Amino acid sequence: MQHPYESWEHCPHCSKLTNCRIFATEKRKIFYDIDLELNMWIKFVECQGCQEFFLLYSKENPYGQTGYDGELECTTSTVPISRNEDELCKIGHFKISLDDNVNEFANLLYKQIMESIVYKNFIVAAAGMRTLIDTFCIAKTDKDIGITKNIDVLVSKRFITKKQSNVYKKISEIGHGAVHRYHIPKKQSLINGIRAIEDLYNILFSFPEYEKIVSKESVPPDTRKSKKA
Ligand SMILES: [Zn+2]
């Protein structure tokens, strides 16, 4: 379809069903579940009633035509575009640097989680977090025996403590509940979760790099001690 074209949509600014102009449509692959081939569409829309802009955000039903239990059928949401603030910046821009094979995937997934939080697609965000934790575990240990056991391997190899592992298992449960039980998590618990995942990245990948650099630093010996002795 040629852009721009008109379509009847519910405007989140004036809360009316109006003829809207669609200026751009972007199709993106959804990464949140490795086993599913899914797409989402983001449309840049102008309401012809109030002249405000918004994003129309829709995704494929992951359970196909037969449906899961009907609850996931409605997967379209609209998000008003605020011209004064960029909420994405507030949530964070984190640069993940992993092995080449998984680097692009991990960065796209991380970006998708941020966008899903901002666009209020909390189910996608929660599911994505689970996949991201799993990706970090596999990248670090080369073992893939299911996310719960993958997290346990981090503990057995002493990368994280048992107490820390419970946090990542809880985030993983939230993702599982979102996808399979349609439990919609709160925005704040997703933001807490993404912070914890950033910490996990730092523990597993950033800190060992700093450790290598810092261990090479040379500092002159403390002579005060030897004088006293
Ligand atoms: Zn409007």
The predicted model scores a pTM of 0.64
How many whole angstroms from 21 Cα to the centroid of ligand 1?
A: 11
How many whole angstroms from 84 Cα to the centroid of ligand 1?
A: 18
Could you state, in order of their start, the residue ranges of all structural domains in the chain?
1-83, 85-214
pLDDT the model gives residue 198: 93
Long-range contacts of 80-84 (CB under 8 A, 24+ apart): 80/12, 80/13, 80/52, 80/53, 80/54, 81/52, 81/53, 81/54, 81/55
d(CA 59, CA 42): 9
Distances (CA, A) of 33 to 50, 60, 223: 38, 13, 58
Query: CATH for 85-214, among 2.40.50, 1.25.40, 1.20.120, 1.10.150?
Result: 1.20.120
How many whole angstroms from 38 Cα to the centroid of ligand 1?
A: 30
d(CA 2, CA 88): 29
How many whole angstroms from 82 Cα to the centroid of ligand 1?
A: 13
pLDDT the model gives residue 69: 42
Q: What is the mean pLDDT of each run of 10 residues along the chain (229 residues)?
A: 82 87 80 69 85 79 47 59 52 74 84 81 87 94 93 97 97 89 88 94 92 91 70
